[in-house]
Chain A
């Protein structure tokens, strides 16, 4: 029954693992052997992609509802618990496999040019390969603990890569922050596993999803809410999104692969994977969609006033992840995954494009010994003349994210908007609110993207003449992957062309055996065709309006380089400082915990009460008693006689009584 190729799915994971080990050894033993790294690092990824494609082809030849479980070895076998390292190859993990290895390959190739001159080149590829290993384990895990290995493992890789240039305190702190905030989510994942175990007595997906959950019951609601806490951590949703913008401290290809295209989408994937549970918990699903909508709007707003090109894209990612959560929250799991796929293309492209820009700016500053910020858009302007390929490709991605047809983002975003609206129409009016929030967010998205393009590529150049001399397009190893991503961003919409335009919703049908039941169970009904046409028209209108407004508003103003710019004031300042959320967390959560631990728990309680009063206090007490006893033995015979006589009299009196 099993296609033999599927049994070899472990090779997909083993190849990057081999790469991580080899590159790690090179990093330790011969860090200067960069050519070997350039071959091994991307090579194992391309190999993994080919292998993954073969596995998916094998899967496609099987009956659609036959998920394949490949057991590798027993892992946690204790008492009633029986957890194997086992991979689940079904149509959902197949999509993720291709995205991870495919986009991963492109970004690995791009990294050759981008990171080549870094002294930690081998270490970089070791980490990047390691990330892919864990990401694959995450999407392939056939039970919750194995997914959790990947889940925490990608957090580890992310920690290492954000803090890649660890000698800078900000980078090291950002890596730590990312891991810590993610761990808050991981706590939720753990508790969800305990609840599931307690109720079902197993942790593998087929048993867990097939267990008799009471629809709308407290238990399934609790499980899904705890799971979503995990998703909110990994996928940077309110209130745990704060780590992602800081994560931009890592090398830009890392931002593209980990913090845009793959890892951060793990939460969306997990909700889709456990869709049957979420479908049985309408309250949790509404929470998922609500948080998603709120995050989409909130993060987009922050993106409006950022000057760091990567920060804009980071908030954009947070915002787009919000869209995906509205999709899966509304029960349109396939739509959420569809947006995940298209977003992987256009957001990876945007980040790598930004990387190409930063690379050029950095090179120019380096050559002219300038200390300006190579990521500040105020220092750019007019770059389309120097980076024409990047410019065109970035526009494609911008049109895609803004939802302009026929670019990919249009189709996927539209499905999510439609899903939210449909939910509202199906008797849950709160989803109308979510829909409205997403429409507003769509306008803002188009606006900040047009602003980014205008500030970076259009208008007059704000670089000095000497710097302009040095600006040039990146080498082919970098623009090549960009072009592939550009094609993907443009046409990935065909994966799931809606029936409205004569398509066959291919991705939705492909995922049907995995997510279809959950979608039906959640009570999801798509909107009628004529309504859909109106919604689509509105969405396109909003996107185009946002683009025009953003572009015109940005080019209308005279821009000056960052060092000459006046600081923002009023509302703009508030938005620029991201509504001071980080500062609030620091002030009201982090610092109180540290101070409480230091002052009260350690100094007062541990050293003062437990050790001081109880332990050393009792020691002093006994020493005091001893001292009293020693006072009696003063060596003065007179005192002894007095005591002796008094005692003797007392004893005689007692005896003779």
Chain B
């Protein structure tokens, strides 16, 4: 196994993979989108599938070419774009963004394959938007210039708006508008903050630049403006996460979006917020962000969201809404792990981002399949489906348990690391958050019972067909990843460790000492003294 990796690494190096891959990942979907609009409509699905598969195939090389021991930015390129304004095309990847890019590109072929028959009208437009969306997503995670980052961040709204607004269900216009205005209101503040930062840093250093490294290394120059700037960034990101109580756009957007939109929202869009905190908001303003008061606010909101969303999820009559609220709960774990600020908790946060993408994505696919068959998402319309659709039931139950955090499946790894790593600093918050193991099982197993078990009372379900081969091909890679990440997460953890360590080392000077530092220190000393 290790030898194959080595051979692949050599091969990738010989073709200069590291130098061109990120640009290709960015441009390929855009070229594909244009090509799609120029080609006949009947080609749309196959054309998109080929582009998506190519994109993922190319991105897969990152897994091998990425150097896990390097905590810094890799695959880095800087090209001047608008030199007069200090704007450059600066892209790169580290252990935090690596899996976000792999997740975004990996989900793409499944999205096309998974909604093969769901979209009947204006296919070319739909797939072109899907491709454009993918380019913007990749852009967000690889941008290391704040202007570039902001462009991709906003660019993403446009395809999403149309995907929900045109191909969504009944209440789609309200949801699409709410989504755009809500997230835009947050991000416009971020734009102001970015410009203010460039100006403030430029005034003190003499160099006006949007470059990430430049701003990061000179963030001390922000002085008294830091709290305001952080607040602006934090609002933009908190809406995207979504952090309680900025979450109400999510259930609407999720519910109204077509399957592919829901999946993309869950898998990628929500991660942009937490990614933003890890990459920008906290590193730029660590002293303020990690101060006692601000930490208390964010940890409280995270834990409140974890429990609150789980409880609200429990009583949802609509499957998509149920899963949407469960996302709010899961993303709360990410926030908790970020503020936990230990290597374990940050790695856990990244793992939760990744596994939430996979299991929630899979849940949305499954709900989409149910909707394709029965044109309803109301839990009450189902019941006893495991009898007619045992394979679908099996996939749903496995995914539900992954989402519940059953050890041996992917969800547990991240949540466990988050809770374990954050416990030293926030014992009470972690204990409260841990109660969600009960509520998560409650809302998902209750839903499973009412959809797949119980007597079949609705005669319309009697003829429902089980998943076919195409759908199985979508579900299998996802379920396989859940098991793989659950029992052997090492390849994933290994690749996130160095970057997480680097991050924690960067913010450590700003952390208030943990409440029981003395006890922890003493215990550690004792353990180390043991032969």
Per-position 1/0 for B516-531, Cβ under 8 A of A: 1001100110110010
Are A597 and B417 also in contact (CB < 8 A) when A79-B344, A80-B343, A145-B407 are? no
Among A159, A172, A180, find the residue whose CB has the most chain B CB atoms closer than 10 A.
A172
Residues in A neighbouring B519, C-beta threshold 8 A: 198-199
Cβ of A597 and Cβ of B311 under 8 Å apart?
yes
B230 interfacial contact with A, CB 8 Å? no
A173 interfacial contact with B, CB 8 Å? yes
Residues in A neighbouring B344, C-beta threshold 8 A: 78-81
- Taken together as a complex, chains A and B put the C-alpha atoms of A200 and B529 apart, in Å, by 12
Shortest CB distance B223–A (Å):
32
B81 interfacial contact with A, CB 8 Å? no
Cβ of B407 and Cβ of A172 under 8 Å apart?
no
A113 interfacial contact with B, CB 8 Å? no
Residues in B neighbouring A79, C-beta threshold 8 A: 342-344, 347, 421, 497, 500-501
Among B419, B489, B501, B523, find the residue whose CB has the most chain A CB atoms closer than 10 A.
B523
Cβ of A179 and Cβ of B449 under 8 Å apart?
no
Are A601 and B407 also in contact (CB < 8 A) when A172-B453, A211-B526 are? no
B384 interfacial contact with A, CB 8 Å? yes
Shortest CB distance B75–A (Å):
24
A366 interfacial contact with B, CB 8 Å? no
Per-position 1/0 for A177-204, Cβ under 8 A of B: 0011001101100110111011111100
Cβ of A75 and Cβ of B523 under 8 Å apart?
no
- Which residues 144-168 of B sit at the A interface, judged by CB distance below 8 A? none
Cβ of A198 and Cβ of B419 under 8 Å apart?
no
Q: Among the listed stretches A88-96, A160-168, A373-381, which one makes contact with chain B, having 4 or more residues with CB under 8 Å of it? A: A160-168
Shortest CB distance B516–A (Å):
7
Cβ of A167 and Cβ of B441 under 8 Å apart?
no
B435 interfacial contact with A, CB 8 Å? yes
A606 interfacial contact with B, CB 8 Å? yes
- Taken together as a complex, chains A and B put the C-alpha atoms of A594 and B406 apart, in Å, by 23
- Taken together as a complex, chains A and B put the C-alpha atoms of A54 and B248 apart, in Å, by 60
Per-position 1/0 for B498-524, Cβ under 8 A of A: 001100000000000000100110011
Residues in B neighbouring A190, C-beta threshold 8 A: 416, 419, 434, 437
- Taken together as a complex, chains A and B put the C-alpha atoms of A153 and B490 apart, in Å, by 21
- Taken together as a complex, chains A and B put the C-alpha atoms of A153 and B435 apart, in Å, by 19
Shortest CB distance B449–A (Å):
5
Cβ of B527 and Cβ of A207 under 8 Å apart?
yes
- Taken together as a complex, chains A and B put the C-alpha atoms of A610 and B432 apart, in Å, by 23
Residues in A neighbouring B413, C-beta threshold 8 A: 76
Residues in A neighbouring B308, C-beta threshold 8 A: 601
Shortest CB distance A197–B (Å):
6
- Taken together as a complex, chains A and B put the C-alpha atoms of A53 and B404 apart, in Å, by 36
- Taken together as a complex, chains A and B put the C-alpha atoms of A461 and B311 apart, in Å, by 52
Cβ of B347 and Cβ of A183 under 8 Å apart?
no
Residues in B neighbouring A149, C-beta threshold 8 A: 407-408
A553 interfacial contact with B, CB 8 Å? no
A510 interfacial contact with B, CB 8 Å? no
- Taken together as a complex, chains A and B put the C-alpha atoms of A436 and B249 apart, in Å, by 61
Shortest CB distance B52–A (Å):
29
- Taken together as a complex, chains A and B put the C-alpha atoms of A73 and B390 apart, in Å, by 33
Shortest CB distance A586–B (Å):
14
Per-position 1/0 for B297-312, Cβ under 8 A of A: 0000000000010011
Q: Among the listed stretches B7-15, B271-279, B423-431, which one makes contact with chain A, having 4 or more residues with CB under 8 Å of it? A: B423-431
- Taken together as a complex, chains A and B put the C-alpha atoms of A113 and B497 apart, in Å, by 53
| Secondary structure dominating the interface of B | helix
Candidates A28, A148, A168; contact of B390 at CB < 8 Å: A28
| Size of the chain B interface, CB-CB below 8 angstroms | 71
Residues in B neighbouring A145, C-beta threshold 8 A: 407, 416
- Which residues 184-233 of B sit at the A interface, judged by CB distance below 8 A? none
- Taken together as a complex, chains A and B put the C-alpha atoms of A629 and B487 apart, in Å, by 62
Shortest CB distance A78–B (Å):
4
Residues in B neighbouring A640, C-beta threshold 8 A: none
Residues in A neighbouring B113, C-beta threshold 8 A: none
The closest CB in chain B to the CB of A614 belongs to B245
Shortest CB distance B353–A (Å):
14
Residues in A neighbouring B407, C-beta threshold 8 A: 145, 148-149, 152-153
The closest CB in chain A to the CB of B457 belongs to A169
Residues in B neighbouring A596, C-beta threshold 8 A: 311
Among A79, A168, A202, A610, find the residue whose CB has the most chain B CB atoms closer than 10 A.
A79
Among A81, A186, A200, A210, find the residue whose CB has the most chain B CB atoms closer than 10 A.
A81
A556 interfacial contact with B, CB 8 Å? no
Range, interface on chain A: 35 or more
Are A611 and B435 also in contact (CB < 8 A) when A78-B344, A167-B456 are? no
A635 interfacial contact with B, CB 8 Å? no
- Taken together as a complex, chains A and B put the C-alpha atoms of A212 and B343 apart, in Å, by 25
Residues in A neighbouring B315, C-beta threshold 8 A: 594, 597-598, 601-602
- Which residues 611-629 of A sit at the B interface, judged by CB distance below 8 A? 611, 614-615, 619
Cβ of A81 and Cβ of B387 under 8 Å apart?
no
- Taken together as a complex, chains A and B put the C-alpha atoms of A201 and B523 apart, in Å, by 7
Are A610 and B248 also in contact (CB < 8 A) when A80-B344, A187-B434 are? yes
Cβ of B446 and Cβ of A176 under 8 Å apart?
yes
- Taken together as a complex, chains A and B put the C-alpha atoms of A414 and B424 apart, in Å, by 44
Cβ of B526 and Cβ of A167 under 8 Å apart?
no
Shortest CB distance A416–B (Å):
32
- Taken together as a complex, chains A and B put the C-alpha atoms of A202 and B452 apart, in Å, by 41
- Taken together as a complex, chains A and B put the C-alpha atoms of A163 and B446 apart, in Å, by 13
Candidates A28, A156, A166, A191; contact of B386 at CB < 8 Å: A166
Candidates B316, B348, B406, B487; contact of A78 at CB < 8 Å: B348
Residues in B neighbouring A615, C-beta threshold 8 A: 178, 182, 248-249
- Taken together as a complex, chains A and B put the C-alpha atoms of A75 and B441 apart, in Å, by 24
Residues in B neighbouring A211, C-beta threshold 8 A: 523, 526-527
Cβ of B497 and Cβ of A78 under 8 Å apart?
yes
- Taken together as a complex, chains A and B put the C-alpha atoms of A369 and B432 apart, in Å, by 54
The closest CB in chain A to the CB of B347 belongs to A78
- Taken together as a complex, chains A and B put the C-alpha atoms of A194 and B501 apart, in Å, by 21
- Taken together as a complex, chains A and B put the C-alpha atoms of A163 and B494 apart, in Å, by 39
A593 interfacial contact with B, CB 8 Å? yes
Residues in B neighbouring A175, C-beta threshold 8 A: 449
Cβ of A197 and Cβ of B182 under 8 Å apart?
no
- Taken together as a complex, chains A and B put the C-alpha atoms of A593 and B313 apart, in Å, by 12
Shortest CB distance A442–B (Å):
35
B85 interfacial contact with A, CB 8 Å? no
- Taken together as a complex, chains A and B put the C-alpha atoms of A598 and B316 apart, in Å, by 8
Cβ of B487 and Cβ of A75 under 8 Å apart?
yes
Shortest CB distance A438–B (Å):
32
Residues in B neighbouring A167, C-beta threshold 8 A: 384, 387, 453-456
Residues in B neighbouring A191, C-beta threshold 8 A: 431, 434
Per-position 1/0 for A60-88, Cβ under 8 A of B: 00000000000001111111110001000
Shortest CB distance A142–B (Å):
15
Residues in B neighbouring A172, C-beta threshold 8 A: 449, 453-454
Cβ of B347 and Cβ of A166 under 8 Å apart?
no
Residues in A neighbouring B316, C-beta threshold 8 A: 602
Residues in A neighbouring B384, C-beta threshold 8 A: 166-167
Cβ of B406 and Cβ of A152 under 8 Å apart?
yes
B438 interfacial contact with A, CB 8 Å? yes
Shortest CB distance B104–A (Å):
23
Are A183 and B449 also in contact (CB < 8 A) when A73-B488, A198-B516 are? no
The closest CB in chain A to the CB of B445 belongs to A176
- Which residues 307-353 of B sit at the A interface, judged by CB distance below 8 A? 308, 311-312, 314-316, 342-344, 347-348
Residues in B neighbouring A619, C-beta threshold 8 A: 181
Closest 7 CB pairs of A and B: A79-B343, A172-B453, A166-B453, A598-B315, A79-B344, A597-B311, A611-B248
**Sample (17) of A-B pairs whose CB atoms are under 8 Å apart:** A28-B391, A79-B421, A81-B344, A163-B453, A167-B384, A167-B456, A172-B449, A180-B441, A183-B438, A187-B434, A187-B435, A190-B419, A198-B520, A199-B520, A200-B527, A596-B311, A615-B249
Q: Given A156-B401, A156-B406, A172-B454, 12 other A-B contacts at CB below 8 A?
A: A77-B490, A78-B348, A152-B407, A152-B408, A159-B445, A169-B453, A169-B455, A183-B441, A190-B437, A198-B423, A198-B519, A614-B245
